[in-house]
Structure 1
Amino acid sequence: MATLKEKRTCGQRCEDFGRFVWNPDHGTFMGRTPVKWVCISLYYVAFYVVMTALFALALWTLMYTLDPYAPDYQDRLLSPGVMVWPDVYNEENLELFYNMSEKSSLDRMAQCLRDFLIPYNDTLQESCHRMHQCKPGHYNLQTSFDAPGHTKWSCPFNQSVLEQCSGLEDPTFGYNGTKPCVIIKMNRIISFLPNNGTGMAPYVNCTALEGHENVDWIEYFPSNGTFDLSYFPYYGKQAQPSYVNPLVAVKIHLIGQRSAKIQCRVVAHNIGYENFYEPYEGKVIFQIKATS
C-alpha cells in the first residue's frame, strides 16, 4: 500500500522557494546561471529590436507610398452630395418648418444660417485670399504648391455675394415672412471638374415636387445660381487649408398654404441625381412650411 505523501510545513515551503531563487550549490538564480540569464536576455532584446525595426520599416514604406495631399482611392465618390441649410432637421426628414409670429422659431432658423456663414465673412475672406487673384469663369488649375506653407491657392467666396440671403440686409433671412432663404452647398470631391472640364459651370435648379400652387417663384443668389468654375478643382484640405465651398442661396416665395416639397438639384453633365441608394447625390429634397 502506497504511503501518503508527507505534508510539508510552511517553513519547508519557504526554504524550497529560497533555494529556487538562489541555489548556492549549483550557482543558479531562479533555475538559471547568470551566464544563461545574460544570454536569454540578449536574445529577447535582439528579437524585439528586430521586430520593432521590421514594423518601423513597414510603416515607413506605407507612409512613403501615400500622397499626403490626396487619397489613393476615390472610386466611391463619382458625384458630389448636396446639402441644404439651415440644418435644423433630423437625419431622416428634411423639414424646415417655422412660425412667422414666434420669435424663438425665427431666431432658430436665422441663427443657424448666421453660424454657417461665419467663415464667409467678407473681411475674413479678404484677409485669407488677398495675395491671389482668381479668374471668374475659369478653372483654378494648379500644378505646383506656390501658396505659403507649401499649399495651393484658394478662391474667396464672400458672404455679400448671397445678396438678399446673406443676412447682411435682412438678419432674419426672410423667416419673418413668407420669403425664406435656404443655402445650397455641394460637397467637395478632390480633383473633381464639373461638366468633365468643358468650361460649363454647374448651376442649381429648384423645383416644387409637391405644393406647386404654394410657390409663387424662386430666386437664386448669385442671380444665375451657378457655382463659379474658379472653385474647381478642389485639391484637398492639406493642399488648400483656406478653401471654402461655393454656395448658392435660394429665396422661396411662398403663397397660399405656404407649404411645399422642394427639390434642389445641381445640374452638370457628370453629376448624377437618380441614384436610389444615394438620396443626396447631386440633389437635396426638403419640405418647407411657414405658419403664423
Structure 2
Amino acid sequence: MATLKEKRTCGQRCEDFGRFVWNPDHGTFMGRTPVRWVYISLYYVAFYVVMTALFALAIYVLMYTLDPYAPDYQDRLPSPGVMVWPDVYNEEDLELVYNTSEKRSWTRMSRCLKDFLGPYNDTLQEHCHTMHKCTPGHYNLQASFDAPGHTKWSCPFLQSMLGECSGLDDPSFGYNGTNPCVIIKMNRIINFLPNNGTDTPPYVNCTTLEGHENVAGMTFFPINGTFDLSYFPYYGKKAQPSYMNPLVAVKFHLVGQRSAKIQCRVVARNIAYQNFYDPYEGKVVFKIEATS
C-alpha cells in the first residue's frame, strides 16, 4: 500500500520558501551564491550591451545609406493619382449631390472647397515665394539646394488663378444654383516630369459618361485646364516644404434633370488612365447632381 504524502501546513510552506530565498546552510540567495549572481548579472549586462550596439549600428548604416530627400524605390508609382474636391464619398462611388433650395446641403459643398483652398490664399502664397521667380511653361529644374534652410524653391499657386471657381467672388462656388465647381488635383510623385520632358503641359479633359443632355457646358480654370510645367518636378516634402499642388477647376453648367456622371482625366503622354486595379490612376470618375 502506497504511503500517503504528508500534507504540509501553510507555515511549513512559508518556511520552505524562506529557505529558498535565503539558505544559511549553503549561503545561497534564490538558489545561487552572491558570487554566481554577480557572474550571471555581468553576463546579461554584456549580452544586452552587445545586442544594443549591434542594433544601433544596423540603424546607423541604414539611415546613412538612405536619401532623406527622396525614397529609394518608386517603381509602384508610374503615374499620379487624381482626386476631386469636394471629396464626398458614399460606400462605393464619389457623388456630389446637393439641394439648391436647402442651404445646409449646398453649404457643406462650398465649405469643403473653402477649407481646401485655405493654404492657396494669394497673400499667403506670395509671402512664401517672394524670393523666387518661376518661368511659366518651363520645368522648375534645380540641381542644388539654394533656398533657405537647405531646401529648393517652389512656384506659388494662387487661389485667384481658379477664376470663377476660386470662391473669391462667389463664396458658394456655384452650389447655390446649377453651376457648381469642382477642383481637380494631381497627386505628387517625386521627380516626375509629365509628358516625358516635352514642352506640352498636362491638362484636364472632362467627359460626360452618363447624362450628356444634362450638361450644357464646362469651363476650365486656369485657361484650358492646364497644369503649368513650372510646378514640376516635385522634389519631396523635405526639399520643398512650401510646395503646393497645382490645381484645375471645372465649372459645370447643368440643365434638364441636372444629373450626370463625369470622368476627368489628366492628359499627358506618360500618365496612364486605364489601370483596372487603380481606378484613380490618371483619372477620377464622379457623379454630380443638383436637386431642388
Report the Cα distance in structure 2 between the residues aligned to 1:278 and 1:8, rounded to whole angstroms.
72
Matched residue, 1:204: 204
User: Are 1:243 and 2:243 matched, yes or no?
Assistant: yes
Q: How many Å separate the matches in 2 of 1:220 and 1:70?
A: 33
Residue equivalent to 1:190: 190
Contact 1:140 1:229 survives alignment (8 Å): yes
Residue 47 of structure 1 is matched in structure 2 by 47
- In the other structure, the counterpart of 1:58 is 58
Q: Counterpart of 1:33?
A: 33
Q: Give, in whole Å, the separation in 2 of the partners of 1:14 and 1:213.
A: 91
Deviation at 1:96, TM superposition (A): 1.2
Residue matched to 1:130: 130
1-side partners of 2:10 and 2:254: how far apart? 93
Go from structure 1 to structure 2 and tell me whether the alpha carbon gap of 1:11 and 1:208 turns closer, same or farther (over 3 Å shift): closer
Contact 1:220/1:249 (<8 A) preserved:
yes
Q: Distance in 2 between matches of 1:168 and 1:42?
A: 72
CA distance in 2 between partners of 1:103 and 1:146 (Å): 49
Give the deviation of 1:9 after TM superposition.
4.1
CA distance in 1, matches of 2:282, 2:235: 20
Asked if the contact 1:262–1:287 (Cα under 8 Å) also holds between the matched residues in 2, the reply is: yes
Return closer, same or farther for 1:15/1:142 CA change in 2, 3 Å cut-off. same
User: SS in structure 1 opposite 2:230?
Assistant: helix
Superposition deviation, residue 208 in structure 1: 1.1
Provide, for residues 111-168 of structure 1, a one-character-per-residue CA deviation record: whole Å limited to 9, x for no partner: 1110110010001111111121111111111112221222111111000000111001
2:287 aligned residue: 287
Indicate yes or no: 2:95 matched with 1:106: no
| 1:215 corresponding residue in structure 2 | 215
TM superposition shift of 1:180: 1.1
Give the 3-state SS of the residue equivalent to 2:44 in structure 1: helix
CA distance in 2, matches of 1:210, 1:7: 87
* Superposed displacement of residue 3, structure 1: 4.2
- The answer as to whether partners of 1:88 and 1:112 remain within 8 angstroms in 2 is no
SS in 2 for 1:224: helix
Deviates more, 1:127-136 or 1:262-271: 127-136
1:238 match: secondary structure: coil
> Would the alpha carbon gap of residues 91 and 236 (structure 1) be closer, same or farther in structure 2, given more than 3 Å must change?
farther
Using the alignment, how far apart are the partners of 1:283 and 1:3 within structure 2? 86
Write the letter of the residue equivalent to 1:126.
E
Secondary structure in 1 aligned to 2:114?
Answer: helix
Compute the TM-score of the two structures, normalised by the length of structure 1. 0.95
Deviation at 1:27, TM superposition (A): 2.4
Aligned to 1:229: 229
SS at 2:164 equivalent: helix
> 1:242, CA displacement in angstroms?
0.9
Moved more, 31-40 or 111-120: 31-40
> 2:257 aligned with 1:257, yes or no?
yes
Deviation readout 1:177-235 (Å, 9 max, x if unpaired): 22111111111111110001112100011111122222111111011210001111111
Structure 2 Cα separation of the partners of residues 49 and 40 of structure 1: 14
| Structure 1: stretches of 5+ with no match in the other structure | none
Q: Equivalent residues in 2 for 1:39-188 (5 A)?
A: 39-90=39-90, 92-188=92-188
Task: Kindly report the root-mean-square deviation, in angstroms, between the aligned alpha carbons of the 2 structures.
Answer: 1.6
Alpha-carbon distance in 1 for matches of 2:89, 2:218? 22
Whichever residue aligns with residue 21 of structure 2, its letter is: V
CA displacement at 1:2 relative to structure 2: 5.3
- Matched residue type, 2:251: K
TM-score, with length taken from structure 2: 0.95
Q: What displacement does 1:64 show?
A: 1.4
What's the offset of the Cα at 1:91?
A: 5.4
In structure 1, the residue matched to 2:266 is 266
Cα distance between partner residues in 1 of 2:241 and 2:109: 29
Displacement of 1:28 in angstroms is 2.2
Identity percentage over the alignment?
A: 83
Aligned length: 292
C-alpha distance in 2 between matches for 1:4 and 1:103: 88
8 A contact 1:98–1:291 mirrored in 2: yes
Deviation at 1:88, TM superposition (A): 2.1
